[in-house]
């Protein structure tokens, strides 16, 4: 699980909020699977609305190009963003994101992401609660523009919003490395390799670090 601070800057957030103020939203239950239909009560941006498409594209581009996301999620396929809105009384109860993502190309769900658009003081409730591997749940109510990524196989929920409205974008990605422990180890190795490349360019140590990194990639990464 990791946080990407300031994935979106103030100007982008302002533009997104302006677009979403006018955009069409429809009942999120329409896209819920059988396992989550009864616990889902939110609104989703209508993907046929040009304003929604613009927000989807902008956030997707920022996320998929972000160095921290690339290193930590090792994404292969990142699904289009879904724009979620929770007005007063809305929530999304405990559920898991679907392991197989329909679409072209089909993908496996490995890493889920929420990008927060609303400031924490604009709404009450609405926390994203993610059950971690150890069973101790973690609660997120992040500043606008921040993102949180967590393994798609963890149970999570959005608490009922009791005042105001909560806007966020979510997506699920297939990682080049399915196993979460390997993914973390690979991210660590890629970070230390970059550091060695910086401080010890053209040394046997750099060549060794590159070798380990490349061979781990060959061993674990799906092309």
Provide the binding-site residues for ligand AKG, judged by CB under 6 A: 84, 92, 97, 114, 128, 156, 158, 168, 170
Which DSSP state fits 104?
A: S
Q: How many residues bind Fe ion (CB under 5 A)?
A: 1
Task: Point out the annotated binding site for Fe cation.
Answer: 95, 97, 156
The least CB distance from residue 38 to Fe ion, in Å, is 14
Q: How far is 112 from 89, CA to CA, in rounded Å?
A: 24
Q: Tell me the two tokens of residue 166.
A: 């909560």
Binding-site residues, in ranges, read 95, 97, 156, 166
Tracing tokens 């690339």 back to the chain, one arrives at 70
Q: How far is the CB of 53 from ligand AKG (least distance, A)?
A: 18
Residue number, 45 or 75, with CB nearest to ligand AKG = 45
Q: Which of 200, 160, 152 shows the shortest CA–CA distance to 33?
A: 152
Strand partners, 123: 164
In the shown chain, the binding pattern of residues 186 to 205 toward Fe ion, with x for contact by CB under 5 A and - for none, equals --------------------
Give the nearest residue (CB) to ligand AKG.
Answer: 114
d(CA 116, CA 142): 6
Tell me which residue has tokens 């500043």.
143
**Residue 139, Cβ neighbours under 10 Å: how many?**
9
Report the length, in residues, of the chain. 223
| 3 state SS of 133 | coil
Whose Cβ is closer to ligand AKG: residue 59's or residue 196's? 59
Report 5-44 residues binding Fe ion (CB under 5 A).
none
Q: Out of 49, 97, 110, 174, which residue is the one contacting Fe ion (CB under 5 A)?
A: 97
Q: Which stretch binds Fe ion (CB under 5 A): 8-16, 26-34, 92-100, 194-202?
A: 92-100
Chain residues binding Fe ion by CB under 5 A are 97
């Amino acid at each position: 699980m990791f946080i990407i601070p300031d994935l979106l800057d103030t100007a982008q957030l302002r533009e997104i909020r302006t677009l979403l103020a006018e955009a069409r939203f429809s009942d999120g239950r329409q896209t819920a699977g059988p396992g989550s239909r009864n616990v889902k009560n939110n609104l989703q941006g209508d993907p046929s609305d040009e304003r929604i498409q613009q927000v989807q594209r902008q956030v997707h581009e920022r996320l998929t190009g972000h160095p921290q996301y690339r290193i930590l999620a090792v994404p292969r396929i990142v699904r289009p963003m879904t724009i979620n809105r929770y007005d007063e009384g809305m929530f999304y109860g405990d559920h898991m994101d679907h392991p197989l993502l329909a679409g072209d190309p089909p993908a496996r769900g490995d890493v889920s992401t929420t990008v927060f658009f609303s400031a924490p003081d604009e709404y009450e409730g609405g926390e994203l609660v993610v059950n971690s591997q150890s069973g101790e749940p973690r609660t997120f109510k992040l500043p606008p523009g921040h993102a949180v990524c967590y393994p798609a196989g963890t149970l999570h929920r959005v608490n009922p919003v009791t005042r105001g409205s909560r806007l966020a974008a979510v997506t699920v990605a297939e990682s080049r490395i399915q196993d979460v422990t390997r993914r973390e180890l690979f991210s660590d190795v890629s970070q230390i390799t970059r550091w060695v490349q910086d401080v010890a360019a053209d040394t046997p140590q750099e060549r060794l670090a590159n070798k380990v990194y490349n061979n781990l990639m060959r061993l674990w990464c799906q092309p």
